[in-house]
């Protein structure tokens, strides 16, 4: 039997990259998908192209090609009402909600004392508050379903180890660890598991941000904080991350909650 047979998963940031890969791989394992993405730019500080409505449509095509259904919603994780509407529409369509992957996020770069307040606030509101909103919108439906479930919070290696030039990102991703652990305690009585995953560099548009190279060129000492001991790889693939997310979503991880799964090529060990 497929790992997620007849289950329903809500995936944010699903238009491309990790989110798309999670949605398609979940469909391969028997899940229907509620796919949520802004499909637009959020800030001029972001150094890579935004996702588009066409990207989200391609995610839908790929999920349907696997024989599963998908509901796509364009919305902003900075708006609780938009997330709630997506969950409500998904539960009305599919009749249940079993898995949540809080994946939506951005990456920008600057030293903390040189960072405009807007850059800091935008990062925290998307990467931390947006995950809180995602979980807040989703959990009541999971509890009401009475079947338990699994929530996977996509943090980062920066949620385990600080990185220069990214204090706002590091703060948000560290905050997700606290949210994950607290949610795991509070949702345990309902059979809902909550875990976080912590990728390092991943081969996605975000992982190809040209602003990283510019920052390191200006501050070469920072390079030492972005080295890893594992030879032969310089980035994780999206499948590397999805393998972990799929495992945590499935009943194979039924004994795991409140944990942090690190996929960082060893960067947090040095």
Is 169 a residue of the active site? yes
Question: The whole model's pTM is what?
Answer: 0.95
Grouping H, G, I as helix, E, B as strand and the rest as coil, residue 191 is: coil
Mean pLDDT score, 177-192: 98
Which residues on adjacent β-strands are paired with residue 36?
12, 73
Tell me how far apart the alpha carbons of residues 14 and 53 are, in angstroms, rounded to a whole number. 11
Backbone angles phi, psi at 259, to 5 degrees: -100, 165
State yes or no: pLDDT of 89 exceeds 80. Answer: yes
Q: Which helix H or strand E contains 262, and what residues bound it?
A: strand 260-263
According to CATH, the topology of domain 8-263 is: Rossmann fold (3.40.50)
What confidence score (pLDDT) does residue 32 get? 98
How buried is residue 221: exposed, middle or buried, by Cβ count under 10 Å (0-12/13-18/19+)? exposed
Catalytic pick from 169, 222, 226, 247? 169
pLDDT of residue 233 exceeding 90 = no
Least confident of 124-138, 167-181, 186-200, 209-223: 209-223
Q: Per this entry, what is the length of the chain?
A: 270
More confident residue, 20 or 209: 20
pLDDT interval class at 185 (50, 70, 90): very high
Other CB atoms closer than 10 Å to residue 254's CB: what's the count? 11
CB half-sphere exposure, 270, CA atoms < 13 A: 12
How many Å separate Cα 16 from the centre of its chain?
12
pLDDT in tens, 114-134: 999 999 999 999 999 999 999
Q: What is the largest CA-CA distance in the chain?
A: 53
Task: Answer for the pair 180, 195: CB distance below 8 angstroms, yes or no.
Answer: yes
DSSP labels for 179-190?
HHHHHHHHHGGG
- Look up residue 181 and give its two tokens: 């652990």
CA dihedral 175, 234, 35, 152 (to 10 degrees): -40
pLDDT band at residue 231 under the 50/70/90 scheme: confident
């Amino acid at each position: 039997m497929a790992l997620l047979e007849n289950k329903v998963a809500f995936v944010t940031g699903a238009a491309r990259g990790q989110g798309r890969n999670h949605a398609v791989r979940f469909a391969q394992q028997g899940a229907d998908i509620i796919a949520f993405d802004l499909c637009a730019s959020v800030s001029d500080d972001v150094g890579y192209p935004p996702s588009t409505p066409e990207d989200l449509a391609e995610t839908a095509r790929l999920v349907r090609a696997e024989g599963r259904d998908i509901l796509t919603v364009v919305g902003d994780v900075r708006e609780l009402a938009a997330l709630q509407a997506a969950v409500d529409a998904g539960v009305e369509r599919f009749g249940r909600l079993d898995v949540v992957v809080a994946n939506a996020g951005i990456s920008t770069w600057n030293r903390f004392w040189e960072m405009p307040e807007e850059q800091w606030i935008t990062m925290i509101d998307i990467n931390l508050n947006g995950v809180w909103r995602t979980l807040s919108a989703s959990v009541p439906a999971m509890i009401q379903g009475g079947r338990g479930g699994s929530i996977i919070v996509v943090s980062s290696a920066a949620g385990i180890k600080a990185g220069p030039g990214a204090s706002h990102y590091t703060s948000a991703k560290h905050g997700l660890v606290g949210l994950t652990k607290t949610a795991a305690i509070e949702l345990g009585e309902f059979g809902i598991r909550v875990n976080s995953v912590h990728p390092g560099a991943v081969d996605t548009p975000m992982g190809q941000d040209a602003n990283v190279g510019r920052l390191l060129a200006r501050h070469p000492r920072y390079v030492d904080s972005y080295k890893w001991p594992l030879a032969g790889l310089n980035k994780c693939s999206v499948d590397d991350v999805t393998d972990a997310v799929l495992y945590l979503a499935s009943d194979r991880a039924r004994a795991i909650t409140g944990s942090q799964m690190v996929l960082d090529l060893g960067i947090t060990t040095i």
